A = this chain, B = another copy of it.
Amino acid sequence: MAIKNIREAINETLHHEMERDPNVIVLGEDISGGAGTPSGKREAIGGIWGTTGGLLPKFGAERVIDTPISESAIVGAAAGASLAGKRAVAELMFADFIGVCFDQLYNQIAKFRYMFGGDVSCPVVIRLIYGAGMNSAAQHSQAMYSFLTAVPGLKVVTPTNAADAKGLLTTAIRDDDPVMFFEHKALYTKKCEVPDGEHLVPFGRASLVRQGDAATVVAIGRMVSFAEKTADKLASEGIGVDLIDPRTLSPLDEDTIIDSVEQTGRLIVVDESPPRCSVAGDIAATVAAKAFSSLKAPIELVTAPHTPIPFARELERAYVPGPDKIEASIRRCVGYQ
């Protein structure tokens, strides 16, 4: 075991998987950087988030591919390479850019296996860097995993700590289905113990981050960190909650969520996305349909408002659901008679 942050865990996992399997390739914009520049020096950047550094020197430009600014071609090429025997890992430097390649994600990659009769595999991983917290404004801060969770044929993963980042990315790369791997830009420096050597986290298994019987809190992505703080604060007051990190949104570990709600009778879902057709709503609906008899209080949804993401510090801070909002919702839910 060693302490690592998420950025390091992802970089090491990419190195490890590329060593392990010569069919693994990586592509995206400025994955290495420096191609065709006056300096001629490659590795000018190693990915703008620093997650793909060192890959090109070690594995060469054939397998570590810097691309033009052409997301449809990036995702499509990743798909085509994966249909032809590779395991392509493509980076969308901002998840917000799914807008310019959405067809390749939702009409192509997601549907190949089904449309073609069930036997065809497209083992591609799309790494999407998402989330607010850097004042990148409306087009560079979104948490839109709901769009891809909605799409049959895709798997959606949202690691929230370095150990899971390693375990889930390893599973994603070795998985025979297309995986949308969401990395929160504000979590890259989050540190924790990471198992050495082989470490796989299975899809569809939530992790129980905190335990308690007063309520069930399901938090997604960066919201897990906020909910941890809140849970610890409330615990010190004797209000213990189950804090569940689904880890994968598709498949979703309904059992763990429902089992917990059957114990606590109360559900709070925390999601950085706007509320409409969100993963928060999706989980709430599932519980309202499948654990209704256990519910003792209205389901609380803690989400961003139904607005685009504003630029100014004060506005973004007010936009993102924070520990205060989470605490208020938990108290309201627990207090409901």
Chain A residues proximal to chain B, CB less than 8 Å: 72, 96-100, 102-107, 110-111, 114-115, 137-139, 144, 146-147, 149-153, 250, 252, 273-274, 276-282, 284-290, 292-293, 295, 297-301, 305-308, 310
Contact = CB atoms under 8 A, between A and B. Distances in A.
* Residue among A102, A104, A297 with most chain B CB within 10 A: A102
A69 to B, nearest CB: 13
Leading 3 A-B pairs by shortest Cβ distance? A99-B103, A281-B285, A292-B298
A150 B151 CA distance: 14
B114 A308 contact: yes
Contacts of A106: 99
A149 B277 contact: yes
Nearest to A306: B152
B99 A100 contact: no
A137 B137 CA distance: 38
Contact of A297 (B72, B115, B278, B292): B292
Contact of A292 (B103, B152, B295, B308): B295
B308 A111 contact: yes
A107 B96 contact: yes
